[in-house]
């Protein structure tokens, strides 16, 4: 292989090697096999998942990050959940609650500063006030709530989640599960066990032999059902692990965890296999990794426009390919873990829109080889994964499907096709943006490349029309099958129809020669606005049109996006370098 | 002169400009209709924007309503005319354009389907409690004043008067009975409250209506509200008046009077359509995912009984799996009463097949067209590279 070719593939291979390295399991922390504990399968939110997933999702919801800095170290999700479950006094001191709203801070007598993270102990003195305010907010419909009320209701929900987690295996203010098992029965003990069963966020004890697959129990439920035969072995093992962790004895903890795992492997081998697979997915964080690789791609590509394009452009492409591999691997893992087609909720639609755009971009780059395919693919991949990253704060991204959506056939056909239509429309918009920037920034844009960009946009608009139309129609058929009407002018349906209509308008204007190069590009950028509105805008419509509740973060993000696209349309239509002074003969 | 004008009209009708303008107008209508749904409800917004010929608006200070925008029906009709004209005017057997013709023929069918749906679709519901047998459908929006002859406990004779006939001052004779009903007042929607000491006397002098104060209310606008349709009526038989009664969809207490030994029940209720067969709800199930309240499935196990055809069978109706029978489709729509009551949505739409056909046509056409375009583009590039 020629050295230049090798150089081109090197960055991509390095990125893949780095991705592989993240699959390695971390070692014990201070002698505790925390990773092993994180693999414990539990039943939460209607599905089996490793405890590690519960911890990560909770941390994302409470803190918007997957780790907690504490006493000069970064606690991972497994260590954090161990503290929450077995050392609540330590967990209460960790700064896990992110609070951005100045009025909520003001409620607690805190001035807004660079520190946005607070521990439960910081908040505890103001609990009653927060609860009262949240209850007042809860009585209002979400459309009528003010920003403060939304923020305080949200903080209260996170406090409830934290409290439920602390009381999922043992009561936070009790002597612990081990002591509870030794405790003599009685009214007090019964009360404790009942409140434990009520508060539990997840069910950690696998069903015994001969029980149904849904018969998982929380420790509270198991304690209430305790018979003369003594505690079930899994409960005893869990108690041992908890006591060991609390007392700082790694051997006892590790022995308890190993026992619990062996028991689960024996009783529910499928659950343990699933948990092991999901934990690998959690550890790699393929979509975060993909985001990083796409940024690297963009940087290398920008550099290629300044220096040695012959070397750097293929290098950027190899990085893009590596990003696409990681992104695809993540997507496939989700499909396998969930046993569902790729798009099941807003989060996964963002992941999938980006993925389809990246694949289209790779195809375009192979066809035209000008670097633009790489640029738009990396930009689309990065942008959609950023959006997905923010959507992940809502909770478990592999949540169960509500009754009417529970149809793999329609999820696989209608939802996927419509989402590919979104990808196409966005990609056309991004190519048009690349055209716009190049038009004004490139010192001497050659007409052949311009022609290529126009061809690419035209082709992608055709592609987007095909997919958005077929997807919309399949949606109509699904609606006819499940609700008895093909078309109901529902906001989400209308959103899809708008995309179809807009792409059809672009193509008809082009065929009638009413728009040419510039017009086509401006229309393609407008397509991104329409798509963003039908993707996210209609979801906000439900929240309300003329209310404070409407003005949440997503609304402003969407407003800024639309504003930026409008500015780009203006820039696209403006004469080349309109700001520069013109000489008379150029 | 006229000929030239006609030709120019024809050319305009078949032109691409009309297509593009119509498509842009349609987009605007879709946006307006979507936004209006927060205030008017889905049905109200669809009727105002999509199923109307003109979008009418009452402007402040004007006594009449002004047409402000072409409605969806008008735009749809123009689009169909435009498409058909273009098909006729430009059709040639160029294989490269064949896909496009197929697409546009399919589009005409699609819009036609929406017209058929708008005109003929019948939407109703069937509410059944566990163990109950029901042989009628209830309308979502229309009401009826029902007079039921309860004399024979084994067989109830019923007379329904649709709300469209309930006009103030109307005198309605019930065929086959000695009864005549005089409509004193009719309200599409009303608010009912117990009569306070200072309220004016009620129009009703019999039944629960005497103790009720009624205020007229504007018709329900959003999807969540339901009209409390009410009327004051006076039954007359053999020259004898039985007093004035208040009937309303929100009054639950049965109100009866007796004439010549026969007992008659008065009630206002959703308009019923009786079926030649009956449906019994054996069991309603509401499954959730373990440890959550996320619904997993709703299903109704019903028994279908059609003596005329000798049909007796059990059917399970669940999400995405309606029962199609007798030109109607029965869907699981809602539930209530602690999961012992099931609400089925019943739809009959003679044009239901049209969208399927048109979709197949359009998809085929798009594939054909973009496929040949792509194929030609690749061929051109290869030729260029070869040069």
As a whole number of Å, the CA-based R_g of chain A is 27
Q: End-to-end distance of chain B based on CA atoms, in angstroms?
A: 55
Q: Which of B20, B362, B374 sits opposite A509 (nearest CB)?
A: B20
Are residues A541 and B24, on separate chains, in Cβ contact within 8 Å? no
What are the tens digits of pLDDT across the range A248-294? 899 999 999 999 999 999 988 889 999 999 999 988 889 999 999 99
Task: Report CA-CA distances (Å) from A168 to A88, A98, A221.
Answer: 11, 22, 11
Task: Write down the pLDDT at residue A422.
Answer: 92
Given the structure tokens 């999700």, which residue do they identify? A77
Q: What would the two tokens of residue A109 be?
A: 């007598």
For residue A29, what are its two tokens? 């922390």
Which pair of structure tokens corresponds to residue A414? 């209608």
Burial classification of residue B135, based on how many CB atoms lie within 10 Å of its CB (0-12 exposed, 13-18 middle, 19 or more buried): middle
Q: Which residues of chain B have pLDDT under 50?
A: none
Domain boundaries along the sequence of chain B: 2-120+359-386, 123-130+275-348, 138-273
Cα(first)–Cα(last) distance of chain A, in Å? 47
For position A586, what pLDDT does the model report?
42
For an interface test with A, the pick among B27, B34, B345, B382 (most A C-beta atoms closer than 10 Å) comes out as B34
Count CB-CB contacts under 10 A for residue B48: 18
Q: How far apart are CA B199 and CA B214, in angstroms?
A: 10
CB A50 within 8 A of CB A41: yes
CA distance linking residue B161 with residue B156, whole number of Å: 16
* DSSP code per residue over A480-535: HHHTS-S----HHHHHHHHHHHHHHHHHHHHHTTSS-HHHHHHHHHHHHHHHHIII
ipTM of the complex, rounded to two decimals: 0.81
Residue A206 CA to its chain's centroid (Å): 29
Q: How many helices (H) and strands (E) does chain B have?
A: 5, 19
Distance from CA of B268 to the nearest CA of A (A): 27
Which residues fall within 8 angstroms of residue A414, CB to CB, at 6 or more apart?
A471, A474, A475, A477, A478
Helices B16-45 and B2-13: crossing angle, nearest 10°?
60
Please tell me the distance from the alpha carbon of residue B375 to that of residue B381, in angstroms, as a whole number: 10
Dihedral of alpha carbons A125, A131, A132, A133, sign: positive
Nearest to A489 among B50, B347, B359 (CB): B50
- A494 contacts on B by Cβ (under 8 Å): 30-31, 33-34
- What does DSSP assign to residue A59? H
Torsion of CA A480, A481, A484, A490, to 10 degrees: -50
What is the Cα–Cα distance from A105 to A103, expressed in whole angstroms?
A: 5
Do A460 and A376 form a contact (C-beta atoms < 8 A)?
no
Helix (H, G, I), strand (E, B) or coil at A182: helix
**Contact at CB, A487 and B114, closer than 8 angstroms:** yes
DSSP string, B263-304: EEEEEEEEEEEEEEEEEEEEEEEEEE-TTS--EEEEEEEEEE
The string of pLDDT tens digits covering residues B63-109 is: 777 788 899 899 999 998 998 888 888 777 677 778 888 888 898 88
How close is the nearest chain A Cα to the Cα of B351, in Å? 10
User: Which of chain A's residues have a Cβ under 8 Å away from the Cβ of B333?
Assistant: 483
In terms of CA atoms, which chain A residue is nearest residue B358?
A: A473
- The CA distance from B329 to the nearest CA of chain A, in Å, is 7
Judged by a CB distance cut-off of 8 A, whether residue A220 touches chain B is no
Return per-residue pLDDT of chain A as tens, 586 residues. Answer: 577 778 888 888 998 998 888 888 888 888 899 999 999 999 988 889 999 999 999 998 898 888 899 888 889 999 999 999 999 999 999 999 998 888 888 888 888 788 889 999 999 999 999 999 988 888 776 666 777 888 888 899 999 999 999 999 888 888 888 888 887 777 888 888 888 888 889 999 998 888 888 889 898 888 888 877 788 889 989 999 999 999 989 999 999 999 999 999 998 888 999 999 999 998 888 999 999 999 999 999 889 888 888 888 889 999 999 999 999 999 999 999 888 888 888 888 899 999 999 999 998 888 877 788 899 999 999 999 988 888 887 777 777 777 667 677 777 888 899 999 999 999 999 999 999 998 888 877 788 888 888 988 998 999 999 899 989 888 888 888 777 778 878 888 888 999 999 999 999 999 888 998 999 999 999 999 999 988 887 777 654 333 333 446 677 888 899 999 999 999 999 888 787 776 544 4
Q: Which among B265, B263, B272, B236 is positioned nearest to B251, based on CA atoms? A: B265
Interface of A with B in 427-466 (CB under 8 A): 455, 459, 462-463, 465-466
Residue from B15, B27, B323 to probe the interface with A (highest A Cβ count within 10 Å) = B27
Nearest residue in chain B measured CA to CA from A474: B359
CA distances from A248 to A175, A241, A252, B50 (A): 15, 10, 9, 69
B20·A490 Cβ contact <8 A: no
Predicted pLDDT of residue A404: 66
pTM of the entire predicted model: 0.82
Distance between CA B34 and CA B54 in Å, rounded?
Answer: 17
Does the beta-carbon distance from A504 to B23 stay under 8 Å? yes
Nearest to B356 among A462, A477, A491 (CB): A477
d(CA B280, CA A517): 65
Alpha carbon A140 to its chain centroid, in Å, reads: 29
The burial of A586, by beta-carbon neighbours within 10 Å (0-12 exposed, 13-18 middle, 19 or more buried), is given as exposed
A window 328-347, beta carbon within 8 A of B: none
Residues B60 and B333 sit within 8 Å (Cβ to Cβ): no
Determine contact: A382 vs chain B, CB below 8 A: no
Cβ atoms of B146 and B181 within 8 Å: the answer is no
Pinpoint the alpha helices (H) of chain B. Answer: 2-13, 16-45, 72-90, 98-120, 353-386
CA distance B287 to B295: 6
Residue of B35, B82, B291 best to disrupt the A interface, most CBs of A under 10 A: B291
Do A407 and B24 make contact, defined as CB atoms within 8 angstroms?
A: no
pLDDT of residue A1: 56
And the tokens for A52? 């590690």
CB of B51 closer than 8 Å to CB of B111: no
Q: Closest chain A residue to B125 measured between Cα atoms?
A: A484
Report the residue from A402, A481, A489 with minimal CB separation from B42: A489
Q: What is the DSSP letter of A184?
A: P
Q: Which residues sit opposite B105 in a β-bridge? A: none
Give the separation between CA A519 and CA A513, rounded to whole angstroms.
Answer: 10
- CA distances A209 to A213, A216, A232, A235, A475, Å, are 10, 12, 12, 15, 43
Judging contacts by C-beta atoms under 8 Å, the chain B residues touching residue A203 are 291
């Amino acid at each position: 292989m020629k050295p230049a070719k090798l150089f081109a593939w090197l960055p991509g291979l390095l990125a893949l090697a780095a991705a592989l390295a993240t699959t390695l399991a971390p070692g014990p922390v201070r002698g505790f096999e925390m990773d092993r504990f994180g693999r414990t399968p539990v039943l939460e939110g209607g599905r089996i998942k490793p405890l590690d997933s519960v911890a990560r999702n909770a941390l994302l919801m409470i803190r918007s990050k997957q780790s907690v800095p504490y006493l000069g170290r970064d606690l991972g999700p497994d260590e954090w959940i161990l503290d929450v479950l077995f050392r609540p006094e330590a967990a209460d001191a960790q700064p896990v609650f992110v609070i951005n709203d100045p009025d909520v801070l003001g409620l607690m007598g805190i001035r807004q500063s660079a520190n946005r993270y607070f521990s439960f102990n910081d908040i505890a003195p103001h609990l009653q006030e927060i609860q009262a305010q949240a209850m007042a907010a809860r009585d209002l419909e979400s459309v009528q709530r003010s920003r403060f009320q939304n923020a305080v209701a949200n903080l209260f929900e996170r406090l409830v989640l934290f409290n439920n987690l602390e009381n999922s295996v043992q009561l936070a203010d009790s002597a612990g599960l081990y002591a509870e098992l030794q405790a003599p029965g009685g009214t007090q003990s019964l009360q404790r066990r009942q409140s434990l069963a009520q508060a539990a966020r997840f069910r950690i004890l696998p069903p015994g032999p001969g029980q149904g697959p849904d018969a998982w129990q929380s420790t509270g439920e198991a304690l209430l059902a305790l018979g003369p035969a003594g505690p079930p072995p899994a409960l005893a093992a869990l108690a041992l692990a908890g006591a060991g962790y609390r007392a700082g004895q790694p051997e006892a903890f590790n022995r308890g965890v190993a026992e619990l795992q062996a028991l689960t492997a024996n009783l529910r081998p499928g659950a343990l296999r699933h948990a092991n697979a999901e934990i690998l997915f959690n550890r790699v964080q393929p979509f975060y990794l993909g985001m990083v690789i796409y940024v690297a791609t963009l940087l290398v590509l920008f550099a290629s426009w300044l220096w040695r394009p012959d070397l750097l452009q293929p290098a950027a492409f190899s990085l893009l390919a590596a990003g696409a591999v990681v992104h695809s691997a993540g997507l496939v893992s989700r499909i396998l873990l969930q046993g569902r087609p790729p798009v099941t909720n807003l989060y996964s639609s963002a992941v999938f829109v980006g993925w389809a755009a990246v694949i289209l971009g790779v195809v375009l780059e192979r066809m035209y080889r000008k670097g633009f395919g790489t640029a738009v693919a990396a930009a689309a991949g990065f942008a959609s994964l950023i959006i997905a990253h923010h959507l992940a704060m809502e909770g478990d991204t592999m949540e169960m499907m509500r009754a009417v959506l529970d149809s793999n056939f329609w999820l696989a056909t209608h939802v996927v096709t419509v989402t590919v239509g979104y990808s196409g429309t966005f990609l056309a918009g991004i190519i048009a943006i690349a055209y716009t920037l190049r038009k004004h920034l490139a010192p001497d844009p050659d007409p052949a490349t311009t022609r290529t960009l126009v061809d690419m946009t035209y082709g992608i608009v055709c592609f987007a029309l095909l997919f958005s139309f077929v997807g919309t129609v399949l949606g109509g058929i699904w609606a006819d099958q499940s609700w008895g009407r093909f078309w109901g002018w529902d906001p989400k349906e209308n959103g899809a129809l708008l995309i179809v209509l807009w792409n059809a308008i672009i193509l008809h204007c082009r065929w009638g020669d009413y728009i040419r190069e510039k017009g086509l590009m401006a229309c393609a950028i407008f397509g991104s606005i329409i798509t963003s509105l039908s993707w996210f805008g209609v979801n906000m419509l439900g929240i309300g049109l003329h209310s404070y509740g409407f003005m949440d973060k997503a609304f402003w993000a969407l407003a800024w996006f639309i504003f930026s696209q409008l500015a780009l349309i203006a820039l696209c239509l403006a004469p080349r370098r309109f700001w520069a002074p013109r000489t008379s003969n150029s | 002169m006229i000929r030239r004008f006609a030709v120019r009209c024809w050319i305009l009708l078949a032109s691409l400009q009309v297509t593009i303008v119509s498509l842009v107008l349609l987009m605007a209508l879709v946006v307006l209709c979507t936004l209006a749904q927060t205030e008017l409800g889905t049905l109200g917004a669809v009727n105002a924007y999509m199923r109307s010929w003109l979008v009418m608006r009452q402007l402040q200070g004007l006594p009449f309503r002004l047409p402000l925008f072409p409605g969806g029906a008008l735009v749809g009709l123009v689009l169909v005319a435009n498409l058909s004209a273009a098909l006729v005017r430009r059709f040639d057997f160029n294989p490269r354009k064949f896909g496009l013709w197929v697409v546009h023929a399919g589009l005409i069918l699609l819009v036609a389907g929406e017209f058929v749906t708008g005109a003929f679709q019948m939407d109703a519901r069937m509410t059944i409690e566990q163990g109950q047998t029901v042989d009628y459908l209830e309308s979502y929006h229309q009401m009826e004043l029902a007079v039921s002859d309860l004399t024979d406990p084994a067989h109830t004779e019923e007379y329904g008067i649709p709300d469209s006939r309930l006009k103030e001052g109307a005198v309605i004779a019930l065929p086959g009975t000695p009864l005549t009903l005089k409509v004193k007042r009719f309200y599409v929607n009303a608010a009912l409250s117990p009569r306070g000491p200072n309220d004016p006397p009620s129009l009703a002098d019999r039944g629960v209506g005497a103790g009720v104060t009624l205020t007229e209310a504007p018709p329900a606008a959003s999807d969540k509200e339901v009209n409390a349709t009410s009327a004051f009526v006076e039954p007359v038989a053999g020259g004898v008046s039985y007093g004035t009664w208040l009937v309303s969809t929100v009054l639950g207490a049965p109100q009866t009077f007796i004439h010549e030994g026969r007992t008659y029940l008065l009630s206002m209720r959703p308009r019923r359509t009786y079926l030649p067969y009956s449906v019994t709800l054996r069991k309603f199930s509401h499954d959730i995912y373990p440890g959550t309240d996320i619904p997993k499935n709703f299903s109704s196990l019903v028994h279908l009984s059609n003596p005329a055809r000798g049909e007796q069978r059990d059917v399970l109706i669940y999400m995405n799996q309606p029962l199609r029978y007798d030109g109607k489709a029965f869907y699981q729509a809602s539930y209530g009463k602690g999961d012992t009551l099931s609400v089925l949505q019943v739809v009959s739409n003679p044009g239901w097949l049209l969208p399927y056909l048109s979709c197949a046509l359009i998809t085929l056409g798009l594939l054909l067209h973009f496929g040949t375009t792509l194929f030609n583009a690749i061929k051109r590039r290869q030729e260029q590279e070869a040069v």
